[in-house]
Chains A and B, each alone.
Chain A
Amino acid sequence: MAVIDKTVRRHRWDTKFAPYGYVAPYFLIFGVFGLFPLLYTIWVSLQDRNLLESDAATFVWFDNYAALMADPYFWNAMGNTLSLWLLTTVPQILFALVIAQLLNRKVRTRTLFRMGVILPNITSVAAVTIIFAQLFGRDFGLFNWLLGLFGAGQIDWQAGTATSHIAIAVMVVWRWTGYHALIFLASMQAISPSLYEAATLDGANGRQQFWRITVPLLRPQIIFTTIIATTGNMRLLAEPLLFNPGAAAATGGSDRQFQTAALYLYEQGFTKYDFGYSSSIAVVLAIATVVVAGFGYLVTKRIRTE
């Protein structure tokens, strides 16, 4: 009798409490090293806290935010962030749709092509940026050599605001387009072929089918991808940092022409050790990301579904 009682109790304990044990490691580690720092950022952003000046932290209410709003470097960084967001997100999604469309045809060696488009995504951002920085070199870069074949002069890609943004956008688009293309491809394969057959019989050409059938049916994935790409592209850091490596890398160019908000956060936090100020940048950047992602949502939501 006692044996059965023990088994029953063990069973009840097992069904009632054991599941919490299985999910506990995730919540413990994420809580301590993920969620807590994120929330604590808000608290630090209300403090005057500089590692180089003193160990003490004084509560200063919104002083950091007030200083931020009057900081031209911050607005410059936000402007660069928005410019790069536009230059990366829009081409990523358009190219990804086109590539997915190509991959969705009946193609021989399709695994080869699918692996090919995802290859950029598995290479490290540090390695890729260094390679591209060389390709975009002023004197011996391959891109300038190619442009020279068409009679164009040598471009100092890093020097200008527009040219440096284009160069950085190329790196980001190169790295992420294939990934998004595969996600679109997965949804395209779920579209019934009969829709296309009917459209062909009605005389619709490939372009019309793409815009009237494929894109509207992919609307949920386009919305999703826009939001995912936005959260990534609003916090570009490695590309602007390593595009111009060296002692002054954190400023993003000699005139801060390609310093993103995330890079400014890094400059304030880890070259000047102004933790309070840096945290306020993190908070504002998080809010800006939510706002821009919301904007992206509203735009992509307008895709017609007939």
Chain B
Amino acid sequence: MTAVLERPAPAPPAGPSARARRLARRVAGPWTYAALIAILAGSAFPVYWSFVVSSQTPDAIDSMPPVLVPGGNLFANIARVFDTTDFALALMNSIFVSGTVTISVVLFSTLAGFAFAKLKFRGRNVLLLLIIGTQAIPTELGIIPLYMMMAEFGWAGEIHAVIVPGLVTAFGVFFMRQYFERAIPDELLEAGRMDGCHSLRLFWHVALPAARPAAAVLGLFTFMQAWNDFFWPLVVLTPENPTVQTALSTLASGYTTDYTLVLTAATIGTVPVLAVFLLFGRQIVGGIMSGAVKG
């Protein structure tokens, strides 16, 4: 029966045009490809341009028509960035901040997400609603009191002032909760309970291994977000102890902007997230398409 159904039907003599048939089957035509390639080029161009400038000599940026192909000056420019500012410190700080924040967000989100999805406790739904509600609040608007707190603690200008507020996110908890809801059957946990498993052991031996795919996606997002974070580090850190992003801002703020220098720094600062993106692009795309909207 199925074989009959799958056989391509002979085209009726006065049937719909080739274009209409393609429309019905949703197959991309040449115009779709042309549009998609144009979009791809537009998406990639600014990043490519930044790379081109950072591989050229400083006078290339003032040339008309613009130079559009990479040159051989990349390493000289990189050396100049590290000579001009303490970019090594900025990179180290950014790695430390993003790494710590990522580990912490994944750990605490997994723990709380597991509790919200699979354990019963009084007030669970109210607390979960609170988390969903706080997801929508732009916490940057509390930046003045947050700065006052950090000054009070003596943390202003210190790197942990950037780390501590980022240790948990509402999105992470909700994301992991949604995953656990689907990923672990209740019977499995019941069986563990019957065997006398403490809930922390259930978490460690059952939930955590099952959570690995979602935890990885959350980790990727968190790392990239922490790496790119700008406003709060700009406010609380000093130019002497920067992250990559605030160092970029300082470099760009000179009396006259040396664009070759600044764009070289921007290129260096983009490489880590770009590497993560190229390695795990499929997971990142899947994460956005699956988890980020279910609100």
Q: Give the interface of A toward B (CB within 8 A).
A: 7, 10-11, 14-16, 18-20, 22-23, 25-27, 29-30, 33-41, 44, 99, 102-108, 111-120, 122-128, 130-135, 139-140, 142, 145, 174, 178-179, 182-183, 185-187, 193, 196-197, 200-201, 205-206, 209, 221, 224, 227, 231, 235, 237-238, 241-242, 245-247, 249, 262, 265-266, 269-270, 275, 278-279, 282-283, 285-286, 289
**Which residues on the B side are within 8 Å of A183 (C-beta)?**
288-289, 292-293
**Which listed segment binds A: B76-84, B209-217, B279-287?**
B279-287
Residue of B nearest to A206 (CB): B23
Further pairs besides A34-B137, A145-B66, A269-B235: 19, Cβ < 8 Å = A15-B120, A15-B199, A22-B112, A25-B167, A26-B108, A26-B168, A29-B165, A34-B139, A38-B141, A102-B39, A118-B284, A126-B266, A145-B64, A182-B289, A183-B289, A196-B26, A200-B23, A238-B231, A241-B249
Cross-chain contact B253 with A16 (CB below 8 angstroms): no
Dominant SS at the B interface? helix
Cross-chain contact A99 with B39 (CB below 8 angstroms): yes
User: How many angstroms between the C-alpha atoms of A278 and B240 in the bound complex?
Assistant: 25
Q: Give the interface of B toward A (CB within 8 A).
A: 16, 20, 23-29, 32-33, 35-36, 39-40, 42-44, 46-47, 49-50, 53, 61-66, 108-109, 111-112, 114-116, 119-121, 124, 127, 131, 134, 136-149, 164-165, 167-168, 170, 173, 196, 198-200, 203, 224, 227-228, 230-231, 235, 244-246, 248-249, 252-255, 257, 259, 262-263, 266, 269-270, 273-274, 276-277, 281-282, 284-285, 288-290, 292-293, 295
Known: A41-B142, A105-B26. A124 touches B282 (CB 8 A): no
Residue in A131, A132, A178, A278 with the greatest tally of chain B CB atoms within 10 Å: A131
Tell me how far the C-beta of A117 lies from the nearest C-beta in chain B, rounded to whole angstroms. 6
Known: A15-B199, A29-B167, A37-B146. A178 touches B111 (CB 8 A): no
Given B40, B47, B255, which contacts A123 in the complex, CB threshold below 8 Å? B47
**Which residues on the A side are within 8 Å of B65 (C-beta)?**
145
Residue of B nearest to A129 (CB): B252
Residue of B nearest to A182 (CB): B288
User: How many angstroms between the C-alpha atoms of A266 and B235 in the bound complex?
Assistant: 9
The 5 closest A-B pairs by CB, nearest first: A37-B142, A38-B142, A124-B228, A22-B115, A105-B28
Cross-chain contact B50 with A246 (CB below 8 angstroms): no
Cross-chain contact A26 with B131 (CB below 8 angstroms): yes
Dominant SS at the A interface? helix
Tell me how far the C-beta of A83 lies from the nearest C-beta in chain B, rounded to whole angstroms. 20
User: How many angstroms between the C-alpha atoms of A27 and B165 in the bound complex?
Assistant: 12
Residue of A nearest to B124 (CB): A19
Cross-chain contact B66 with A142 (CB below 8 angstroms): yes
User: How many angstroms between the C-alpha atoms of A209 and B23 in the bound complex?
Assistant: 10
Tell me how far the C-beta of B273 lies from the nearest C-beta in chain A, rounded to whole angstroms. 5
**Which residues on the B side are within 8 Å of A15 (C-beta)?**
119-120, 199
Given A107, A187, A285, which contacts B141 in the complex, CB threshold below 8 Å? A285
